[in-house]
Chain A
Amino acid sequence: MHDVSAHAAQHHAPPQGFIRKHVFSLDHKVIGKQYYGLALVAVFVGMVLSWIMRLHLGWTNLAIPGLHLLSKTGAPGDIMTPEYYLQLMTMHGTIMVFFVLTTAPFAAFGNYFLPIQVGAEDMPFPRFNMMSFWVTFTAFIVLMASFFVGDGPTLGGWTQYAPLNAVGSVGGPGQGRGVVLWAASIAIFCVGQLLGSLNFITTTLDLRVKGMSLMRLPLTAWGWFITSCMGLTAFAVLMPACILVILDHVAGTSFFVPSNLVINDQLQPHSGGSTLLWQHLFWFFGHPEVYIAIVPGMGIVSHVLVTNMRRPLLSHRVIIACMGSIAILSYMVYGHHMFVSGMNPFSSLAFSFPTLIITIPATIIVLMWVGSLYGSRLRINTASLFALGFISMFVSGGVSGFFLAQPSIDIMLHATYFVVGHFHMVMAVAAIFGIFSGTYFWFPKMTGRMMNETLGKIHFWLSFVGAYCIFMPFHYLGIAANVRRYQAFVDDYLQPLIPVHKFITVAAIATGIAQFIFLYNLIHSRYWGKTAPDNPWEATSLEWSTPTPPPFDNFGGKHPVVYHDPYQYGLKSSTGDYVMQASPEQVATEHDEK
């Protein structure tokens, strides 16, 4: 695998010293691992928060041992207060959306593999890249800090609707400093993502090696490229919106607070702001964000599946076109979050149709995957199981989008558990399955060791069945009009639904515990796993042409030359049934797209 064709030779020596090598590293691979580590810490924090919330929803007056250690006022006697439930819920959503679903599939894997897949030595702006991670890390610390300020984190939900987000502590616990820290954290996070997106776009457009035409880029690279284009515009809107929230708190402005609001019998000293302005700004970011979380997963699933199907995809170009269409449409659909917000009801229809239409490219992508399975020689391993699980989850979460895209049905389902079930399946579980698939697939390349397949499969089975047990019932609850963001179900009509919540809680805890099998497998395999060959999956893209793990400058001072499409499988070559992109071997291929 090391005989990469070379047309230049200049070996860059790796930096010496722990700090430059492992902490403030300019190496995209180290930065990718740092992002992965951050996402791993974040996902376990977010998961524990969800356990606490679920326990509370099943058994409202249950004492959760040790909870008072997190907050004396939020959990006196270890029993959660209503406001603390909302505070933990807000943190769960914020941590998961920003620091897991955005960070792991895009920033972690993208950082590690995008430069290698295009044949580059590194990103074009390594200092910006290092900055992007440390800025994101700072954002996480700022968000975590809100657990320890006076009255705790904000309770306004991850969407932080105005004017609750701007009226200050009079709005409730956490609505003062908690909101400022939340907005500061997200604004800082946006800076990190903007720096990262710039690097990803430039890497893709400018650093491709000879022969690597855009159409020869693997679908992972396309996924990250399209995502970074979305990120560049979406985060550029969210960042100023967060700054305006901070100004409403600290500078006496009223961007999001109108006049004549009365809280606790006190007329609020604000006037002239617009509450809907926040929703427009937030969802202009928020809906593309859904695709920022899922498009890298689509790339990863395509990449893993095609390798394990041992045949080319039905059409590489169609998947790229669909991912691109989804990215463009994602800006035209955001208003479906606001059907009952008081926005002009005619504009609801204008947002409804693109939302319905976006199902077409999404369906086509699924059809391309499933159609490619036909007649394949599918290899079942943990990576391919998670990729197939992604498809199942993406379909299950996707079809519920038909309901929420229609304003008339949204009247019934808006702000119910149906929405929670929908986005958890399509955006969270599917994206996380994409992360797992990528982890089991690339772990050998990243560490030089194989993950344990038996543990991996146990992890998959428990996660797959568990995720359905948790999130499918959410849809039933939503149809029965179970409102979300309630810390307890005191309404008469919600009482019969409490047993369903108890079932979900048990499933959530069991599925969560199963994730420790993954954590064990990850850590154990990192140090004691079987040594990995350079190309254990017999894959074709450039990351498998480098030594394992890749050297500091990825290709040992050489620049590979690309001769083939990314997914030349199902043919006869000297290596077997595939030909690598960097192999000069000429074989009869189905279609060599230039």
Chain B
Amino acid sequence: MAKFFAVTIIVIAIASAIPILRHTWPEPPDISVHGHLIDEQMSETMAEAGISFLAAQFILAIFIWKFSNRPKDATIGKFPGGAKGLVIAAFLLVGTEVLALGIFGTRAWASVYFTPPAADSLPIQVQAGQFAFYFRYPGPDGKFGPLHPSLINEANENFFGLDQTNDQDSKDDIVTAEMAIPVNREIHLLMHAKDVGHSFYVPELRVQQDFVPGLDLSIHFTATKIGRYEIVCTQLCGLGHYNMKAYLSVYSQEDFDNWLKKQAALQ
């Protein structure tokens, strides 16, 4: 029974590692400038966590195999180095491991959050509400008009609550249900929640940020690959949460300009 248990632990440990090693269900491909830092951090953590996982399971299994059901008069062995040795080893090995992960991981985090957006980044506002995203581009004047929550009216397609009659800056604002961005240009995404908490997650962009009602946040990123990707909500926002999504199209600068013109004409 004990030996069978030991073998089971080893089989489970190996079977658990195989899909990771074979990338059976891989992470979505990275299409961002900063994403490789996150991916490298992920791989490094996977290597360290994987080795710790396999080592611990194997040692557990070997000890179960070796020391189970021994005769009553079998000598009790002492672990070499005793508790002191293990405590020192844990502090040195795990301590170094976690400090290294923490310090190197800061690089990836800093690239997303500790740098301001470039001066020539393209500002886009995204509003999350039950259960849709809407996007606003500032138009030729480069300015966003103010929001008037009391004017929000979905039936009239005034999703943001704009007063385009009286607010000069709002007049040329372009509102869309789909997000489009030019490739290789930094985007400064201004995030606004209309009702409850939501989140903006594009796995390929390596971007996930919550919308916080009452607190307008911003993030910035640069996409490097043309294509069409899904934006999904990851913050439980109500019954339609699973279906709250939008598409992100990454275009060449020329295609983006054409798309934006077309959207402006539709306003």
Contacts and interface: CB of A to CB of B under 8 A. Distances in A.
Interface in B38-89: 38, 41-42, 45-46, 48-50, 52-53, 56-57, 59-60, 63-64, 67-72, 74-79, 82-83, 86-87, 89
Given A261-B195, A370-B56, A402-B48, A479 B105 contact: no
Contact of B38 (A267, A309, A412, A472): A412
A41 interface: no
A392 B60 contact: yes
Given A349-B106, A357-B98, A374 B63 contact: yes
A464 interface: yes
Contact of A275 (B152, B197, B245): B197
A374 B101 contact: no
A203 interface: no
B49 A402 contact: yes
Nearest to B242: A486
Contact of A276 (B63, B67, B212): B212
A267 B148 CA distance: 10
B37 interface: yes
B195 to A, nearest CB: 4
B25 A359 contact: no
Interface string A304-329: 00000111001100100000000000
B45 A409 contact: yes
A356 B208 contact: no
B236 A477 contact: no
A342 B212 contact: yes
B52 A164 contact: no
Interface string A484-508: 1111111111000100100000000
Interface string A326-360: 00000000000000111001101100110011011
Contacts of A215: none
A400 B16 CA distance: 13
A532 interface: no
A371 B79 contact: yes
Given A262-B161, A275-B213, A480-B28, A359 B98 contact: yes
A275 B42 CA distance: 30
Contact of A497 (B25, B48, B102): B25
A406 B94 contact: no
Contacts of A167: 195-196
B8 interface: yes
A378 B70 contact: yes
B60 A388 contact: yes
Interface residues of A, number: 112
Contacts of B236: 86, 155-157, 161, 164, 485
Nearest to A89: B236
Interface residues of B, number: 105
B28 A310 contact: no
A407 interface: yes
Interface string B101-131: 1100111110011100000000000000110
Interface in A143-177: 155-157, 161-164, 167, 171-173, 175
Nearest to B4: A461
A157 B9 CA distance: 34
Contact of B243 (A81, A372, A490): A490
B189 interface: no
Interface string B141-178: 00000000110111100000100000000000000000
Contacts of A276: 212, 215
A260 B146 CA distance: 13
A267 B105 contact: no
A164 B213 CA distance: 10
Contacts, number: 322
Given A360-B98, A378-B70, A476-B25, A403 B152 contact: no
**Which of A260, A379, A488 has most B Cβ within 10 Å?**
A260
A376 B66 CA distance: 9
A13 to B, nearest CB: 42
A402 B76 contact: no
A160 B91 CA distance: 37
Nearest to B46: A403
Contacts of A373: 60, 63-64, 67
Contacts of A374: 63, 67, 77-79
Contacts of B75: 375
B234 A415 contact: yes
B214 A274 contact: yes
A310 to B, nearest CB: 7
Nearest to A411: B208
B19 A476 contact: yes
A375 B149 contact: no
Given A403-B45, A479-B27, A412 B203 contact: yes
B108 A340 contact: no
A356 to B, nearest CB: 4
B102 A352 contact: yes
Interface in A244-281: 257-263, 265, 267-268, 273-276
**Which of A163, A348, A392 has most B Cβ within 10 Å?**
A392
A363 interface: yes
A366 interface: yes
A4 interface: no
Contact of B101 (A345, A392, A402, A491): A402
B103 to A, nearest CB: 9
Given A263-B130, A486-B241, A349 B213 contact: no
A395 B54 CA distance: 10
Nearest to B17: A472
Contacts of A259: 214
Given A340-B209, A376-B67, A409 B105 contact: yes
A477 B27 CA distance: 9
A477 B25 contact: yes
A488 B243 CA distance: 8
B239 A261 contact: no
Nearest to A410: B208
**Which of A258, A378, A461 has most B Cβ within 10 Å?**
A378
B140 interface: no
Contacts of B19: 476
A513 interface: no
Contacts of B161: 262
A368 interface: yes
Contact of A314 (B41, B79, B243): B79
Contacts of A265: 152-155
Interface of B: 1-2, 5, 8-9, 12, 16, 19-20, 24-28, 37-38, 41-42, 45-46, 48-50, 52-53, 56-57, 59-60, 63-64, 67-72, 74-79, 82-83, 86-87, 89-91, 94-95, 98-99, 101-102, 105-109, 112-114, 129-130, 149-150, 152-155, 161, 193-197, 199, 201, 203, 206-215, 217, 230, 232, 234-243, 245
20 contacts: A167-B196, A175-B238, A261-B193, A310-B76, A342-B211, A349-B109, A367-B87, A367-B90, A370-B60, A372-B79, A375-B75, A391-B60, A399-B52, A402-B48, A408-B37, A408-B41, A410-B208, A479-B26, A480-B28, A483-B201
Given A493-B230, A497-B25, 11 more contacts: A83-B238, A83-B239, A162-B197, A258-B213, A265-B152, A349-B102, A360-B94, A374-B63, A395-B57, A405-B102, A410-B208
